[in-house]
Structure 1
Amino acid sequence: MNIRAATLADIPALHAMEQQCNPSPWSAAQLTSSINAPQPVWIIDLPEHGVVAMLVWQKLPDEVEIHLLNTHPVHRRQGYAQQLLEHLFQWAQQQHISRILLEVRANNCGALQLYEHNGFKRCGLRRNYYQNGDDAVLMEKLC
Protein backbone atom coordinates (compact mmCIF):
# COMPACT_ATOMS: atom_id res chain seq x y z
CA MET A 1 0.00 0.00 0.00
CA ASN A 2 1.21 3.46 -0.83
CA ILE A 3 0.26 6.52 1.23
CA ARG A 4 1.44 9.59 -0.60
CA ALA A 5 0.69 13.27 -1.03
CA ALA A 6 -1.90 13.96 -3.71
CA THR A 7 -0.92 15.99 -6.76
CA LEU A 8 -2.97 18.04 -9.19
CA ALA A 9 -2.98 15.01 -11.51
CA ASP A 10 -5.08 13.19 -8.87
CA ILE A 11 -7.91 15.76 -8.91
CA PRO A 12 -10.17 13.86 -11.37
CA ALA A 13 -9.97 10.66 -9.29
CA LEU A 14 -10.40 12.52 -6.00
CA HIS A 15 -13.36 14.50 -7.32
CA ALA A 16 -15.04 11.35 -8.67
CA MET A 17 -14.55 9.60 -5.33
CA GLU A 18 -15.81 12.63 -3.40
CA GLN A 19 -19.02 12.65 -5.45
CA GLN A 20 -19.61 8.99 -4.59
CA CYS A 21 -18.83 9.41 -0.89
CA ASN A 22 -20.31 12.73 0.17
CA PRO A 23 -23.94 13.90 -0.01
CA SER A 24 -22.56 17.47 -0.27
CA PRO A 25 -19.40 16.85 -2.31
CA TRP A 26 -16.53 19.26 -2.56
CA SER A 27 -15.91 20.76 -5.97
CA ALA A 28 -12.78 20.08 -8.01
CA ALA A 29 -11.75 23.68 -7.22
CA GLN A 30 -12.02 23.04 -3.46
CA LEU A 31 -9.95 19.87 -3.78
CA THR A 32 -7.38 21.75 -5.87
CA SER A 33 -7.17 24.42 -3.18
CA SER A 34 -6.55 21.73 -0.56
CA ILE A 35 -3.78 20.16 -2.62
CA ASN A 36 -2.16 23.58 -2.98
CA ALA A 37 -2.32 24.18 0.81
CA PRO A 38 0.79 23.88 3.00
CA GLN A 39 -0.20 20.49 4.41
CA PRO A 40 -0.54 17.51 2.07
CA VAL A 41 -3.73 15.74 1.10
CA TRP A 42 -2.81 12.14 1.83
CA ILE A 43 -4.14 9.42 -0.42
CA ILE A 44 -3.86 5.67 -0.69
CA ASP A 45 -2.96 4.79 -4.26
CA LEU A 46 -3.06 1.10 -5.17
CA PRO A 47 -1.30 0.01 -8.37
CA GLU A 48 -4.20 -2.22 -9.40
CA HIS A 49 -7.05 0.15 -8.41
CA GLY A 50 -5.71 3.72 -8.33
CA VAL A 51 -6.76 6.13 -5.58
CA VAL A 52 -9.00 4.34 -3.06
CA ALA A 53 -8.94 6.71 -0.05
CA MET A 54 -8.08 10.29 0.86
CA LEU A 55 -7.57 12.43 3.94
CA VAL A 56 -7.93 16.21 3.68
CA TRP A 57 -6.82 18.03 6.82
CA GLN A 58 -5.52 21.36 8.04
CA LYS A 59 -2.85 22.16 10.58
CA LEU A 60 -3.72 24.92 13.01
CA PRO A 61 -1.13 26.30 15.45
CA ASP A 62 -1.22 23.28 17.80
CA GLU A 63 -4.23 21.38 16.46
CA VAL A 64 -5.29 19.49 13.37
CA GLU A 65 -8.73 19.61 11.81
CA ILE A 66 -9.86 16.75 9.60
CA HIS A 67 -11.98 18.04 6.71
CA LEU A 68 -12.53 14.88 4.66
CA LEU A 69 -11.79 11.21 5.14
CA ASN A 70 -13.15 9.22 2.21
CA THR A 71 -12.80 5.65 1.06
CA HIS A 72 -14.14 4.68 -2.34
CA PRO A 73 -17.38 2.70 -1.75
CA VAL A 74 -15.98 -0.40 -3.49
CA HIS A 75 -12.99 -0.44 -1.11
CA ARG A 76 -14.64 0.26 2.24
CA ARG A 77 -14.13 -1.93 5.32
CA GLN A 78 -10.60 -2.86 4.18
CA GLY A 79 -8.69 -0.66 6.64
CA TYR A 80 -7.75 2.20 4.32
CA ALA A 81 -9.35 4.96 6.42
CA GLN A 82 -7.74 3.43 9.50
CA GLN A 83 -4.32 3.54 7.86
CA LEU A 84 -4.75 7.19 6.89
CA LEU A 85 -5.77 8.04 10.46
CA GLU A 86 -2.74 6.19 11.86
CA HIS A 87 -0.52 8.11 9.43
CA LEU A 88 -2.02 11.38 10.71
CA PHE A 89 -1.64 10.30 14.36
CA GLN A 90 2.06 9.57 13.83
CA TRP A 91 2.57 12.93 12.14
CA ALA A 92 0.64 14.72 14.92
CA GLN A 93 2.78 13.08 17.59
CA GLN A 94 5.99 14.16 15.85
CA GLN A 95 4.66 17.73 15.57
CA HIS A 96 3.48 17.88 19.21
CA ILE A 97 -0.12 18.50 18.20
CA SER A 98 -2.42 18.82 21.23
CA ARG A 99 -5.66 17.60 19.65
CA ILE A 100 -7.37 16.55 16.44
CA LEU A 101 -10.83 17.90 15.63
CA LEU A 102 -13.48 16.87 13.12
CA GLU A 103 -17.16 17.00 12.36
CA VAL A 104 -19.15 14.11 10.94
CA ARG A 105 -22.75 13.63 9.89
CA ALA A 106 -24.79 12.36 12.83
CA ASN A 107 -26.24 9.60 10.64
CA ASN A 108 -22.84 8.36 9.39
CA CYS A 109 -22.69 5.38 11.75
CA GLY A 110 -19.65 3.79 10.10
CA ALA A 111 -17.58 6.95 10.43
CA LEU A 112 -18.71 7.56 14.02
CA GLN A 113 -17.71 4.01 14.91
CA LEU A 114 -14.30 4.41 13.23
CA TYR A 115 -13.58 7.68 15.03
CA GLU A 116 -14.73 6.41 18.43
CA HIS A 117 -12.62 3.26 17.95
CA ASN A 118 -9.64 5.59 17.44
CA GLY A 119 -10.19 7.54 20.64
CA PHE A 120 -12.28 10.46 19.39
CA LYS A 121 -14.89 11.75 21.84
CA ARG A 122 -18.10 13.58 20.99
CA CYS A 123 -17.79 17.18 22.12
CA GLY A 124 -20.70 18.97 20.48
CA LEU A 125 -23.56 18.92 18.02
CA ARG A 126 -24.42 21.36 15.25
CA ARG A 127 -28.10 20.99 14.41
CA ASN A 128 -29.15 21.30 10.75
CA TYR A 129 -25.51 21.95 9.84
CA TYR A 130 -25.46 20.39 6.39
CA GLN A 131 -27.40 21.61 3.35
CA ASN A 132 -29.86 18.73 3.57
CA GLY A 133 -30.59 19.41 7.25
CA ASP A 134 -28.37 16.68 8.71
CA ASP A 135 -26.78 17.39 12.07
CA ALA A 136 -23.00 17.41 12.53
CA VAL A 137 -21.36 15.69 15.50
CA LEU A 138 -18.22 17.47 16.67
CA MET A 139 -15.45 15.17 17.84
CA GLU A 140 -11.98 15.58 19.28
CA LYS A 141 -9.04 13.39 20.13
CA LEU A 142 -6.46 14.59 22.60
CA CYS A 143 -2.93 13.75 21.54
Structure 2
Amino acid sequence: MSAVPDEPAVRLRPMVVEDLPEVMALERRLFPHDAWPEQFFLDELDHTQGERATRRYWVLTEPVADDPRTDERLLGYVGMMCVLPLADVQTIAVAPEAQGRGLGTRLLRLVVDTAAVWGAEQVLLEVRADNDGAQALYTREGFTHIHTRRRYYPDGTDALIMQKPLTDLNAPSSASQLR
Protein backbone atom coordinates (compact mmCIF):
# COMPACT_ATOMS: atom_id res chain seq x y z
CA MET A 1 0.00 0.00 0.00
CA SER A 2 1.29 3.39 -0.87
CA ALA A 3 0.26 6.98 -0.55
CA VAL A 4 -0.57 9.01 -3.62
CA PRO A 5 2.07 11.73 -4.07
CA ASP A 6 0.95 15.14 -2.83
CA GLU A 7 -1.95 13.47 -0.97
CA PRO A 8 -0.33 11.87 2.09
CA ALA A 9 -3.66 10.84 3.62
CA VAL A 10 -4.84 9.16 0.42
CA ARG A 11 -4.09 5.44 0.23
CA LEU A 12 -3.85 3.30 -2.85
CA ARG A 13 -4.39 -0.42 -2.42
CA PRO A 14 -5.66 -3.44 -4.35
CA MET A 15 -9.43 -3.71 -4.58
CA VAL A 16 -10.94 -6.58 -2.58
CA VAL A 17 -14.46 -8.02 -2.49
CA GLU A 18 -15.15 -6.16 0.76
CA ASP A 19 -14.79 -2.89 -1.18
CA LEU A 20 -17.70 -3.70 -3.49
CA PRO A 21 -20.54 -2.09 -1.51
CA GLU A 22 -18.78 1.30 -1.68
CA VAL A 23 -17.57 0.68 -5.24
CA MET A 24 -21.10 -0.17 -6.37
CA ALA A 25 -22.55 2.92 -4.68
CA LEU A 26 -20.02 5.13 -6.47
CA GLU A 27 -20.50 3.23 -9.74
CA ARG A 28 -24.25 3.90 -9.67
CA ARG A 29 -23.74 7.59 -8.78
CA LEU A 30 -21.27 8.21 -11.59
CA PHE A 31 -22.67 5.95 -14.30
CA PRO A 32 -26.46 5.87 -13.83
CA HIS A 33 -27.14 4.77 -17.44
CA ASP A 34 -24.46 2.11 -17.73
CA ALA A 35 -23.21 1.08 -14.29
CA TRP A 36 -21.60 -2.31 -14.14
CA PRO A 37 -23.52 -4.96 -12.22
CA GLU A 38 -21.76 -6.19 -9.10
CA GLN A 39 -21.19 -9.56 -10.78
CA PHE A 40 -18.94 -7.84 -13.37
CA PHE A 41 -16.68 -6.63 -10.58
CA LEU A 42 -16.69 -10.05 -8.93
CA ASP A 43 -15.75 -11.68 -12.23
CA GLU A 44 -12.99 -9.13 -12.82
CA LEU A 45 -11.57 -9.62 -9.31
CA ASP A 46 -11.41 -13.37 -10.01
CA HIS A 47 -8.91 -12.56 -12.79
CA THR A 48 -6.55 -10.69 -10.43
CA GLN A 49 -5.27 -13.85 -8.73
CA GLY A 50 -2.56 -16.33 -9.58
CA GLU A 51 0.35 -16.55 -11.98
CA ARG A 52 -1.84 -16.02 -15.03
CA ALA A 53 -3.67 -12.97 -13.70
CA THR A 54 -4.74 -10.62 -16.48
CA ARG A 55 -6.39 -7.94 -14.35
CA ARG A 56 -5.47 -5.45 -11.65
CA TYR A 57 -7.94 -3.34 -9.70
CA TRP A 58 -7.12 -0.66 -7.15
CA VAL A 59 -9.04 1.65 -4.84
CA LEU A 60 -8.11 5.07 -3.50
CA THR A 61 -9.27 5.76 0.03
CA GLU A 62 -8.78 8.39 2.69
CA PRO A 63 -9.14 8.07 6.45
CA VAL A 64 -12.31 9.28 8.14
CA ALA A 65 -12.73 10.11 11.79
CA ASP A 66 -16.41 11.05 11.79
CA ASP A 67 -17.95 7.67 10.84
CA PRO A 68 -17.97 4.93 13.49
CA ARG A 69 -18.82 2.30 10.84
CA THR A 70 -15.56 2.63 8.92
CA ASP A 71 -12.06 4.05 9.14
CA GLU A 72 -11.76 4.95 5.45
CA ARG A 73 -13.82 6.47 2.64
CA LEU A 74 -13.62 5.42 -1.01
CA LEU A 75 -12.43 8.22 -3.28
CA GLY A 76 -12.05 6.28 -6.50
CA TYR A 77 -11.10 3.08 -8.25
CA VAL A 78 -9.52 1.84 -11.44
CA GLY A 79 -9.23 -1.48 -13.22
CA MET A 80 -6.92 -2.76 -15.92
CA MET A 81 -6.90 -5.80 -18.17
CA CYS A 82 -3.61 -6.75 -19.79
CA VAL A 83 -3.46 -9.48 -22.40
CA LEU A 84 -0.26 -8.79 -24.29
CA PRO A 85 0.40 -6.91 -26.42
CA LEU A 86 -2.59 -4.77 -25.27
CA ALA A 87 -3.72 -3.29 -22.00
CA ASP A 88 -7.16 -1.84 -21.47
CA VAL A 89 -8.55 0.55 -18.89
CA GLN A 90 -11.59 -1.44 -17.82
CA THR A 91 -13.01 1.24 -15.53
CA ILE A 92 -11.92 4.40 -13.78
CA ALA A 93 -13.89 6.52 -11.34
CA VAL A 94 -13.35 9.36 -8.89
CA ALA A 95 -16.05 10.49 -6.48
CA PRO A 96 -17.43 13.92 -7.46
CA GLU A 97 -16.44 15.42 -4.11
CA ALA A 98 -12.83 14.27 -4.68
CA GLN A 99 -12.51 15.50 -8.27
CA GLY A 100 -10.11 18.31 -9.03
CA ARG A 101 -7.38 16.87 -6.80
CA GLY A 102 -5.51 15.01 -9.55
CA LEU A 103 -6.73 11.61 -8.40
CA GLY A 104 -8.05 10.57 -11.82
CA THR A 105 -4.68 11.43 -13.32
CA ARG A 106 -2.91 9.36 -10.66
CA LEU A 107 -5.19 6.37 -11.27
CA LEU A 108 -4.75 6.57 -15.04
CA ARG A 109 -0.97 6.84 -14.71
CA LEU A 110 -1.00 3.80 -12.42
CA VAL A 111 -2.65 1.76 -15.18
CA VAL A 112 -0.27 3.06 -17.86
CA ASP A 113 2.79 2.43 -15.69
CA THR A 114 1.62 -1.06 -14.73
CA ALA A 115 0.84 -1.89 -18.36
CA ALA A 116 4.34 -0.79 -19.35
CA VAL A 117 5.91 -2.96 -16.62
CA TRP A 118 3.85 -5.92 -17.83
CA GLY A 119 5.18 -5.34 -21.36
CA ALA A 120 2.10 -3.91 -23.09
CA GLU A 121 2.70 -2.03 -26.32
CA GLN A 122 -0.37 0.18 -25.99
CA VAL A 123 -3.21 1.05 -23.64
CA LEU A 124 -6.75 1.35 -24.93
CA LEU A 125 -9.89 2.69 -23.32
CA GLU A 126 -13.41 3.64 -24.22
CA VAL A 127 -15.17 6.75 -23.01
CA ARG A 128 -18.65 8.11 -23.48
CA ALA A 129 -18.78 10.72 -26.25
CA ASP A 130 -20.62 13.03 -23.85
CA ASN A 131 -17.99 12.79 -21.07
CA ASP A 132 -15.90 15.86 -21.89
CA GLY A 133 -14.04 15.85 -18.56
CA ALA A 134 -12.78 12.28 -18.98
CA GLN A 135 -11.84 12.92 -22.61
CA ALA A 136 -9.81 15.96 -21.54
CA LEU A 137 -7.96 13.88 -18.93
CA TYR A 138 -7.16 11.14 -21.43
CA THR A 139 -5.97 13.63 -24.05
CA ARG A 140 -3.73 15.39 -21.50
CA GLU A 141 -2.23 12.00 -20.68
CA GLY A 142 -1.35 11.23 -24.30
CA PHE A 143 -4.37 9.24 -25.48
CA THR A 144 -5.77 9.87 -28.96
CA HIS A 145 -9.20 9.08 -30.40
CA ILE A 146 -8.83 6.21 -32.90
CA HIS A 147 -12.39 4.94 -33.43
CA THR A 148 -16.02 5.58 -32.57
CA ARG A 149 -18.47 2.84 -31.65
CA ARG A 150 -21.84 4.25 -32.62
CA ARG A 151 -24.69 3.92 -30.10
CA TYR A 152 -22.51 1.69 -27.88
CA TYR A 153 -24.00 2.55 -24.49
CA PRO A 154 -27.50 1.44 -23.43
CA ASP A 155 -28.88 4.98 -23.76
CA GLY A 156 -27.58 5.23 -27.35
CA THR A 157 -24.50 7.36 -26.63
CA ASP A 158 -21.41 6.70 -28.75
CA ALA A 159 -18.20 5.32 -27.25
CA LEU A 160 -14.89 6.86 -28.29
CA ILE A 161 -12.02 4.41 -28.41
CA MET A 162 -8.76 6.05 -27.36
CA GLN A 163 -5.20 4.73 -27.52
CA LYS A 164 -1.87 5.52 -25.91
CA PRO A 165 1.17 3.83 -27.47
CA LEU A 166 3.77 2.63 -24.99
CA THR A 167 6.20 1.56 -27.70
CA ASP A 168 6.76 2.42 -31.34
CA LEU A 169 3.74 0.66 -32.82
CA ASN A 170 5.41 0.55 -36.24
CA ALA A 171 8.41 -1.39 -34.94
CA PRO A 172 8.42 -5.20 -35.18
CA SER A 173 6.85 -6.70 -32.06
CA SER A 174 4.97 -9.66 -30.70
CA ALA A 175 1.83 -8.22 -32.32
CA SER A 176 3.56 -8.41 -35.74
CA GLN A 177 3.60 -12.19 -35.43
CA LEU A 178 -0.20 -12.23 -35.22
CA ARG A 179 -0.66 -10.77 -38.71
Give me the TM-score of the superposition, normalised by structure 2.
0.76
2:150 paired residue number: 127
- Once residues 37 and 3 of structure 1 are traced to their aligned partners in structure 2, the CA distance between those partners, rounded to angstroms, is 19
SS at match of 2:130: coil
| Amino acid across the alignment from 1:71 | V
Q: Deviations over 1:11-32 (max 9, x none)?
A: 1000000001112101111111
**1:45 pairs with one of 57, 61, 65:** 61
* Identity across the alignment (%): 24
Asked if 2 retains the 8 angstrom alpha-carbon contact of 1:14 and 1:51, the reply is yes
Verify the 8 A CA contact 1:124 1:137 in the aligned structure 2. yes
Provide Cα deviations, 1:25-68, integer angstroms capped at 9, x if missing partner.
01111111112212221111111251111112211122111121
**Which deviates the most, 56-65 or 115-124?**
56-65
1:3–1:84: 8 Å Cα contact kept in structure 2? Answer: no
TM superposition score normalised by structure 1? 0.95
AA partner of residue 129 (structure 1)? Y
Partner of 2:160 in structure 1?
137
What CA distance in whole angstroms lies between the structure 2 residues aligned with 1:92 and 1:66? 10
- Residues 1:90 and 2:99 aligned together: no
- For the 8 Å contact 1:54–1:84, the answer to whether it is kept is yes
Gaps of 5+ in 1: none
Which residue does 1:26 correspond to in 2? 36
Equivalences for residues 111-122 of structure 1 within 5 A: 111-122=134-145
Are 1:3 and 2:12 an aligned pair? Answer: yes
3-state SS of paired residue (1:124) = strand
Runs of 4+ in 1 over 4 A off after TM superposition: none
Structure 1 residue aligned with 2:26: 17
Structure 2 distance, partners of 1:98, 1:142, is 6
Amino acid in structure 1 at the alignment position of 2:92: L
Matched residue, 2:46: 36
TM-fit CA distance, 1:85:
1.2
1:100 aligned counterpart, secondary structure: strand
AA aligned opposite 1:63: L
Query: In 2, distance between residues paired with 1:64 and 1:12?
Result: 27
Contact 1:20-1:73 within 8 A present in 2 as well: no
For the residues of structure 2 that align with 1:65 and 1:124, how far apart are their CA atoms? 15
Q: How many aligned positions are there?
A: 143
Please say if residues 89 and 111 of structure 2, whose CA atoms lie closer than 8 Å, have aligned partners that are also in contact: no
* Contact 2:84–2:119 (CA under 8 A) maintained in structure 1: no
